[in-house]
Amino acid sequence: MFCPPHGSHSRFPRAAPVVGVFVRHVQGRARRAGAVLAAVLTWAGLLAGVAGCTSDGGGVDQMLGKPPAPEDVIRVTPDDRSKGVRPDDPLLVRVPGGHLESVKVVKSQDAQEFPVPGHISKDGLRWEPEAPGLALAAEYTIDAVAVDGQGRRSARHTTFTTYVPDERFIGYVTPENRSTVGTGMIVSLEFNREIENRAAVERAVQVTAEPSVEIRPHWFGRSRLDFRPEHYWKPGTQVTVALRLRDVEGAPGVYGLQHKTFSFTVGRHQVSLVDAAKHTMEVRRDGELLTTVPITAGAPKNTTYNGKMVVTEMLELTRMNGATVGFKKANGKSEYDIPDVPHAMRLTDSGTFLHGNYWADASLFGRSNVSHGCVGLRDVKGGGSETPAGWFFDRSLIGDVVEVVRSNDKKVAPDNGLGGWNMGWKEWKARSAVK
């Protein structure tokens, strides 16, 4: 029979308390673990609630005291680093709350930088440019600063580039910049492409004068736009031509290239009257008769146009080949080819000139019409300053008017050279594309 050692019976009663202490320790650890778990769950719920109540995803950062990301505070359209942005896309800077403190927008184009004017709305939530539309082939840089509801500042820097068109159009302007011209000058633009959106192009060309006078446009077809006042310019008038064609869509996918300003001065008033039947030309300046010059006009088979023509080109010497304007012999060779025509002044695009003539007999001037349609004045080979042709050339300006009367021919077409003075004012104004 097993018997415990002496005194061992006194240890057994204390076994139960040992077990009880162990249980209480286990329960304490369980309660602490539950409290930690509850705290974790509570924080998770709070964080989930914050995330669910914010639209910009910045709730957690805000609870932790971190400022929101700049892109969450300052929204810019177009998106940062966008490429190929179209000219009619909007440019907008906005904030969902607080207010915009400053916005700076710069356009970089043709290696030059231009500030883009704009304004912040009264509520401070939006910035928009003063003028709609974006420039083509340009880079835009936006620097914005905003202040949120807690007084914290955020700054954002973005860039984007705009569409680069494959096709462009330009306008060639008459007269030349800074020139002095006669009172009959008509401002004329010849475009290198046909213009379909004529109203938009017309609006982008501004012709003004000092002293002020009404100036109206007239389209000849789809590639030429002329401007003139109702009557000849007043001597001394300063005329300014502002081309604002850059990025104007003249035809589908074809955009203007120019942003230039031209100017010219109107000189004295000189008008010369050619009477083809009398074979004379009266030269009047500021209403006074300077002289009457004997001339020869177009022969009966090649008569000279009637009407008002404007000098558009002046050449000391030039070559005249009849084949270039349709005067050919039966064998196909030119009826004439003169390499050194002196004192030549162009009157029409079709080839009508007023020029010196050294090859015709001097007795023909003032008595007979023998030319191929030009107006000839007596001259010498190489051109002489003392001849009628040299005298007139030295006293003429591009923009002077030469009017031909009593020729057995039709009136010159308004679009043949600067023939617009042959059109009445009402008819002239009717061909504007802007109604």
pLDDT tens digit string along 249-269?
Answer: 999 999 999 999 999 999 999
Q: How far apart are CA 121 and CA 128, in angstroms?
A: 8
Q: How confident is the model at residue 11 (pLDDT cuts 50, 70, 90)?
A: very low
Q: What is the pLDDT of residue 64?
A: 54
Query: Which of the listed ranges 56-60, 133-137, 270-274, 316-320 does the model predict with the highest average pLDDT?
Result: 270-274
In 10 A of CB 267, how many CB atoms?
20
pLDDT, mean of residues 274-291 = 98
Q: Is the pLDDT of residue 25 over 80?
A: no
Do residues 224 and 433 make contact, with C-beta atoms less than 8 angstroms apart?
A: no
Q: What is the pLDDT of residue 366?
A: 98
Q: What structural domains and CATH numbers belong to the chain?
A: 70-162 (2.60.40.3780), 167-267 (2.60.40.3710), 270-418 (2.40.440.10)
Q: Is the pLDDT of residue 4 over 80?
A: no
Tokens linked to 421: 């003075």
Tens of pLDDT, residue by residue over 380-407, are: 999 999 999 999 999 999 999 999 999 9
What is the pTM for the complete model shown?
0.76
Burial class (CB in 10 A: 0-12, 13-18, 19+), 206: middle
